[in-house]
Amino acid sequence: MKFKVKILRQDTPHDGSYWQTFEMPYEDGMNLTTVLQRIAADPITVDRQPTAPVAYDASCLEEVCGACTMVINGRVRQACSALVDRLLAEQPSLIEMRPMTKFPVIRDLIVDRSSMFEVLKRVKAWVHVDGYHDLGPGARIPPKQQDEAYPLSRCMTCGCCVEACPQFNDRSSFIGPAAISQVMLFNAHPTGRVDADARFEVLSGSGGIAACGNSQNCVKVCPKDIPLTDSIAKAGRDTTLYQLRKWFGS
Amino acid sequence: MAKQHVVVVGGGLAGLAVTMKLAEAGNHVFLISMVPVKRSHSVCAQGGINSVNPLTRQQGDSEWLHMDDTVYGGDFLQHQPPVKEMCDWGPRVIDLLDRLGVPFNRTPEGFRDQRRFGGTMFKRTAFAGATTGQQMLYALDEQVRRWEARNLVEKYEYWEFLGPILDTKGHCRGVVAQDMFSMEIRPFAADAVVLATGGCGSVFGRSTMSMICTGGAAGRAYEAGADYANGEFVQVHPTAIPGTDKLRLMSESARGEGGRIWVPRKPQDDRDPNSIPASERFYFLEERYPKYGNLVPRDIATREIFDVCVNLDLSVEPGRLCVYLDVTELSAESLKKLDGILEIYEKFQGVDPRKTPMKIFPAVHYSMGGLWVDYERNDATGGLVIGSPRNQQTKVPGLFVIGEADYQYHGANRLGANSLLSCIFSGLIVAPTIVNRLKSLPQGSAADQPVSLFDDSVKPHQEWMNRLIHHEGTENPYKLHQELGDWMTRNVTVVRNNKDLRSTLEKIAEISERYGNVALSDKSNWTNQNLSFTRALGDMIRLAGVITEGALLRDECRGAHFKPEFAIPSPDAEEPAALREQAGVWCKAFKAKGDRWLKTTVARHTPDGPEFHYEEVDTSLIPPRPRTYGLKGAEVIEQVWSKMGVGQEGPAERKVAVGGAPK
């Protein structure tokens, strides 16, 4: 069996984009990173024209690193866990791959997501410890609190949530669901919460929590099922409380 | 004094650990990585991190026993002082990670929970679900970001290390690296260079390792004069799921939580596994190793799977090494702790492993071998002299290696959940070494070197790139890689024999020759992944040669290196006196094997291929002994061995023999 893959390509950040179609022999258990590997080994289009291999980002190939995120059949997700037979069941004979639209394209399916990491600096997404010398264990943490922290801590900074978010775009400075969820992760940590106010300050400002339009798209596309809308709801409430405290000077 | 810089290459656990420690001490670090550091291969580590802890301590455990399990598991091939220091640091390393916010699983009282891993009887392994490596990497990534925000760390992500810059005396003065987007090549002057670039799974084609684990950086350092040690020791993990692009790990933690390995007693029984009654299931690890059961070390589990599938023809799928890993009987609480990996199985195989036993296969997983690094022994403690300029330094002064890229901690076989410890430990302890180095700079400062040293360092890389891009050849680098991987996987993994190793060496020579005739399908000067892969292929071919020739030369069985031709036949007599006599013969043969082969393999690059020599291993703390893991019938070997009193004469001096194969 053969199937077709249509890929939106772009040679450099300054060039226009164009579609190219490849025909692939089906392999049992095949996923889209395999498809990209096969194209790299044999870059020939469906019209038998040799072309340059498709550039793409990929590393772990088991959906824990977040590298191979792209838009597949119109939905943002990781290419490694996108299995060909399931995609063909959704949409027979043709699979469509394109780069994420919310980030600058470097080449083909590679985009520059560094802005997501920059935002993590702004919200101080870390635990400010005294030092790396031996000070014994951290605080005891009840299992329930660990149960709440662990899902938030699985965020791969892959960008699915911001890709799906209507408020995250060129015209807005919205920091996005992933960063807000990280704020809630660190504010809940016994040591991490020392920077809570600084984080709420960012959420209070332009592009902060008020920029969320509550479309709830983020939580639907998160590959790790992170309860992003719960984080956003809590962040909204806590930021309001922070602002009240600030106004009343307490 | 001119501003000093340190270059760290690789942003996994080891690279991030040294970066944050150096930044904390006020040093400026260039952190170079092929991927955003948060996407490094450490994310794939699943099960946990080992150390003695309050629970195990009260059951009689100690740092010493952790070291004993580690060197026994490693078949005594690792120098013991670094292992001792690592095990001593274990509790502190985990405490630090705890303070940094790693969401370790908790007991009802809020303490860290622990699970049991292979090669030990103690529950030493702290864990965060089944994504411990990811969680630990994120904690260190966050710390490094904190220093980045204070301008002490400058990240160069999507930059690739092309080689060290060596002055005329052979001292390392920095690195050459390439922007993987713009393809710009530039030098980075540095007063110390640390490689934390991981393993070389790609040498075997597909493995459980990430796409970035090519061994490219190690291959380039080796070519530049850093020795490569114990390359032939490659861990094949017993439990992975095959994929067309990579092999995905199913963590040992599945067995740590109670998962069991079995095959139907009837060859290729095609019934639904759930319908096969217990009496018709062969739980071969539990039957053969009553003491450790499903948690024997990985090399042993993998060989037993091979034996059951090939010699007994009981593979679940004919023609492959496939057995069941069964977690269907686990409690909901245990299954929840394994969610991270069960999700992977479900997503990629389309079957719910909570309901149906998983079909699993062995896969290349970890490089015990790596770049040779030094250490300084502390005679008072048996551990290391912390801050010694020798610790983790290669044969090239100023070039250090940590993490999976070094050879130091795991000997002939690594125990599960020891790699996260060795990565972070080696990263943490190389920091004081570098801080001391920066204070004295025994070979002078990088800033005092002539500018031409750095300018000229770029030239050969630029020329190589231009030549390759325009080269008209007939070989396809991806297909060549596949051929290399197929040969290496077939002949240089679980079971090795000299005939096949020899033919593999010939094949590698042929592939090396054909590599000279590769052509790129991408001729562009922008984000050329084809070029980067092809360059790494050259390194893979070189390392394949080191691994295969090291395996050919080593005529014995040790840890992951198994050559049936040189296995000592197991005692099999029924009658006790005869059995004892056989055990005596076995122990003598074992002693002779140790005298000849308990040595570090060291490969040195020459234009004509690797040159090998062997170095004594420091076994001064724990005398080597036969490795049986309570194998049925091995008691008698252990009794005879302990009566022989070998190695009981007290701590020996560390001897280093350079040059020549062992007699």
3-state secondary structure chain A: CEEEEEEEEECCCCCCEEEEEEEEECCCCCEHHHHHHHHHHCCECCCCCECCCCCCCCCCCCCCCCCCEEEECCEEEECCCCEHHHHHHHCCCEEEEECCCCCCEEECCEECCHHHHHHHHHCCCCCCCCCCCCCCCCCCCCHHHHHHHHHHHCCCCCCHHHHHCCCCCCCCCCCCHHHHHHHHHHHHCCCHHHHHHHHHHHHHCCCCHHHCCCCCHHHHHCCCCCCHHHHHHHHHHHHHHHHHHHHCCC
User: Nearest CB to A60: which of B44, B107, B242?
Assistant: B44
* Binary contact (A52, B530; C-beta < 8 A): yes
* Binary contact (B529, A55; C-beta < 8 A): yes
Nearby residues of B528 by Cβ (< 8 Å), 6 or more positions away: B183, B469, B520, B522
Please give the average per-residue pLDDT across B620-636, as a whole number. 90
Percent of chain A with pLDDT over 70: 100
A109 touches chain B (CB under 8 A): no
In the predicted structure, residue B536 carries a pLDDT above the cut 90: yes
pLDDT recorded at residue B21: 98
Residues of A in contact with B333 (CB under 8 A): none
Q: Quick: pLDDT tens for B312-360.
A: 999 999 888 999 999 999 999 999 999 999 999 999 999 999 999 999 9
Q: Quick: pLDDT tens for A195-249.
A: 999 999 999 999 999 999 999 999 999 999 999 999 999 999 999 999 999 999 8
Alpha helices by DSSP H, B48-158 = 54-58, 63-73, 80-99, 132-149
Q: Quick: pLDDT tens for B289-314.
A: 999 999 999 999 999 999 999 999 99
User: Nearest CB to A64: which of B44, B112, B143?
Assistant: B44
In the predicted structure, residue A66 carries a pLDDT above the cut 90: yes
Domain ranges of chain A: 2-111, 114-247
pLDDT recorded at residue A196: 98
Q: How many Cα neighbours within 13 Å face the side chain of B391?
A: 28
Rounded CA separation B309/B318 (Å): 8
pLDDT recorded at residue B442: 81
User: Nearest CB to B134: which of A27, A64, A134?
Assistant: A64
- Between A177-188 and A228-247, two packed helices, what is the crossing angle to 10 degrees? 70
Rounded CA separation B158/B33 (Å): 6
pLDDT recorded at residue B656: 34
Rounded CA separation B65/B88 (Å): 10
Nearest 10 degrees: CA dihedral of B481, B483, B484, B488? 140
Give how far A75 is from chain B: nearest CA, Å: 17
Rounded CA separation B477/B517 (Å): 9
Residue B81 carries which side chain, given as an amino acid letter?
Answer: P
CATH superfamily of the domain spanning A114-247: Alpha-helical ferredoxin (1.10.1060.10)
In the predicted structure, residue B539 carries a pLDDT above the cut 90: yes
Mapping DSSP to helix (H, G, I), strand (E, B) and coil, where does residue B4 land? coil
Residues of B in contact with A22 (CB under 8 A): none
Nearby residues of B199 by Cβ (< 8 Å), 6 or more positions away: B41, B209, B213, B215, B366, B367, B370, B404, B405
Confidence of residue B631 (pLDDT cuts 50, 70, 90): confident
In the predicted structure, residue B654 carries a pLDDT above the cut 60: no
Nearby residues of B242 by Cβ (< 8 Å), 6 or more positions away: A29, B206, B361, B363
Closest by Cα among B138, B86, B141 to B417: B86
Instruction: Identify from B207, B521, B532, B533 which residue to disrupt to test chain A contact, counting A C-beta atoms within 10 A and taking the largest count.
Output: B521
Rounded CA separation B98/B115 (Å): 16
- Burial classification of residue A76, based on how many CB atoms lie within 10 Å of its CB (0-12 exposed, 13-18 middle, 19 or more buried): buried
pLDDT recorded at residue B649: 45
Q: Are A105 and A113 in contact (CB under 8 A)?
A: no
**Number of DSSP helices (H) and strands (E) in chain B, helices first:** 18, 21
Please give the average per-residue pLDDT across B617-634, as a whole number. 92
Confidence of residue B632 (pLDDT cuts 50, 70, 90): confident
Residue that wins the pLDDT comparison between B242 and B228: B228
B298 is known as an active-site residue: yes
Mean pLDDT rounded to a whole number for chain A: 97
Rounded CA separation B265/B313 (Å): 10
CATH fold of A2-111: Ubiquitin-like (UB roll) (3.10.20)
User: Nearest CB to B108: which of A27, A30, A143?
Assistant: A143
Please give the average per-residue pLDDT across B542-562, as a whole number. 98
User: Which residues partner with B326 through β-bridges?
Assistant: B260
Q: Quick: pLDDT tens for B93-128.
A: 999 999 999 999 999 999 999 999 999 999 999 999
Give how far B181 is from chain A: nearest CA, Å: 7
Closest by Cα among B213, B251, B260 to B128: B251
pLDDT recorded at residue A97: 98
In the predicted structure, residue B1 carries a pLDDT above the cut 60: no
Please give the average per-residue pLDDT across B211-223, as a whole number. 98
Domains and their CATH numbers in chain B:
5-237+366-453 (3.50.50.60), 246-361 (3.90.700.10), 456-553 (1.20.58.100), 571-644 (no CATH)
The catalytically annotated residue of B298, B496, B554, B558 is B298
pLDDT recorded at residue B318: 86
Please give the average per-residue pLDDT across B30-51, as a whole number. 97
Rounded CA separation A150/B112 (Å): 14
Rounded CA separation B529/B157 (Å): 15
Residues of A in contact with B206 (CB under 8 A): none
pLDDT recorded at residue B663: 33
